[in-house]
A and B are shown apart, each in its own frame.
Chain A
Amino acid sequence: MPDARPPLAAPTCPTEIAVELRDVSFGYDKRRPVLSGIDMVIPRGKVVAIMGGSGCGKTTILRLIGGALRPQAGSVVVAGQDVRELDRDALFALRRRIGMLFQFGALFTDLSVFENVAFPIREHTELPEELVHDLVLMKLNAVGLRGARNLAPSELSGGMARRVALARAIALDPMLVMYDEPFAGLDPISLGVVGQLIRKLNDALGITSVVVTHDIYESLKIVDYIYFVSAGRIVAKGTPAEVRASSDPFVRQFVDGAPDGPVPFHYPANAIEQEFASAG
């Protein structure tokens, strides 16, 4: 039972922090901020979910942690290093310790499953071929796809592609793995498999996981802590048990899947009477 796990240490005073965002603001242009005043702590060894509706800025948070974007205000500290202050070499050195699973896997379509997983190993190490072979098979075995090593990415189902991408993300034994919508578009079985893999790999390899998702049910089963983001702000947070018991209107709308609530059904528009009157 996921809830039987010991409760998460209060994330505001963790003993060991993998990622910390302090008062982070970001926007692609100044008029439309994507994120405002984000404070987030991701303790080492935990699985933390960032949840929210589509377009609320969840993926932007991952891009800020990975240094693909620089915050306009505030700081993003990963493994004790402020990402904003890193030069390109230092950023690349940090990224070698971070794995990322993209929404649809982002496997290299011109490489086989084996070569996809071998890619980061070949790029960053000079290990002998026998060792690369063994390492790749170990990673593929961890996601249950050792037998699929000779397949091309085009021959994989969505769930299998996600698992291969997961094997690739952990190829260099990272300290942090980020998942961008790992459950999107999966059938219930694949969804359960990917969810369990995230949890098991996190615990077995002693890594830290950040899962950006809008799948509340799967997340509640596997994560230690959840941040809810809406319109670029953190609107709620808590452990799965706290989320289930929460009376916060946003959390309730999200958990119950209500079409209207703090997140409105209608895109902002003029009053309906005004629209029809002007049409007449």
Chain B
Amino acid sequence: MPADTIALVLRRVGRATQNSISRLGFAARFFAMVLYHSPAALKRLQLTLREVYFSGVLSLVIIMVSGMFVGMVLGLQGYDTLNRYGAGDSLGIFVGLSLVRELGPVVAALLFASRAGSAITAEIGLMKTTEQIAAMEMMAVDPLARVIAPRFWGGIVSMPLLAALFSVMGVFGAYIVGVRLIGVDNGTFWGNMQGGIDFWPDVTNGIIKSIVFGIAISLIAVFEGYDAKPTAEGVSTATTRTVVGASLAVLALDFVLTVFMFRGAT
């Protein structure tokens, strides 16, 4: 019956919308609670430092290797394109700006979401599945202060540092390809980069972006872990949601931030 089918579809859409809104509300309340518990968590700095190690230090290899390769590819592709217009010497500024303003924060954030975000969600989800979170609550220890807030802040601290390292390794990769292999003049490469990139707004915009990405990824990762169904399937779904949600959030936020930053510059 078409009327029945329409009603069924409407019911499903309505239920899905209702669920999404209530989940969004829960996420907003969760964010407020994490912020509320943050001062207590940050007082015990070693808890956050431990998470900086797990999220940041253990992500170093993938970030640095990826940064190097991205920089090398940028060096090759950039030189090839610029050289067509006789601007091969501008490789330094091209690579520097691309990495510092866009690729560094965005690609590092995507890698961070996959490497550290998924690990945070899986860890919290499994803690829930194995009743560790419930045990903590029964011991009168608030898991938001002891487990969630340190992971949230650990991610926020790690993200800009990783993005900066990604950019540094990218520039180094482009130097190896552009200067060492292709033969762009060493002085021109670095001189153009130094002259063409300003700390404000180029570098600061990149830093602002990576901090915003860090907040988004960390929040999504801890929320999905905390909200995961306490089953194997629930944890697996939550981990996937973190990677997909955080990656999309990074790309969408990048566009929004870039629009504002360009408006600010003009």
Contact = CB atoms under 8 A, between A and B. Distances in A.
Interface residues of A, number: 19
Contacts, number: 46
B131 A103 contact: yes
Contact of B141 (A102, A107, A123): A123
B140 A95 contact: yes
Contacts of B138: 66, 68, 95, 98, 100
Interface residues of B, number: 14
Nearest to A97: B140
Residue from the set A103, A106, A107, A124 with the largest chain B CB neighbour count within 10 Å: A106
A102 B134 contact: yes
Contact of B132 (A95, A109, A120): A109
A104 B130 contact: yes
A241 interface: no
B134 A96 contact: no
A106 B139 contact: no
A92 B126 CA distance: 24
B139 A123 contact: yes
B140 A93 contact: yes
A96 B132 CA distance: 16
Nearest to B123: A110
Contact of A108 (B132, B137, B142): B132
A172 to B, nearest CB: 8
Interface string A62-75: 00001010000000
Contacts of B126: 109
A120 B130 contact: no
Interface in B95-153: 126-127, 130-132, 134-135, 137-142, 146
Interface in A97-122: 98, 100, 102-104, 106-109, 119-120
B134 A119 contact: no
15 contacts: A66-B138, A68-B138, A92-B142, A93-B140, A100-B135, A100-B139, A102-B135, A107-B132, A108-B132, A108-B135, A109-B127, A123-B139, A123-B140, A123-B146, A124-B140
Interface of A: 66, 68, 92-93, 95-96, 98, 100, 102-104, 106-109, 119-120, 123-124
Given A66-B138, A108-B127, A124-B141, 20 more contacts: A68-B134, A68-B138, A93-B140, A95-B139, A100-B135, A100-B138, A102-B135, A104-B130, A106-B132, A106-B134, A107-B132, A108-B132, A108-B135, A109-B127, A109-B130, A109-B132, A119-B139, A119-B141, A120-B141, A123-B140
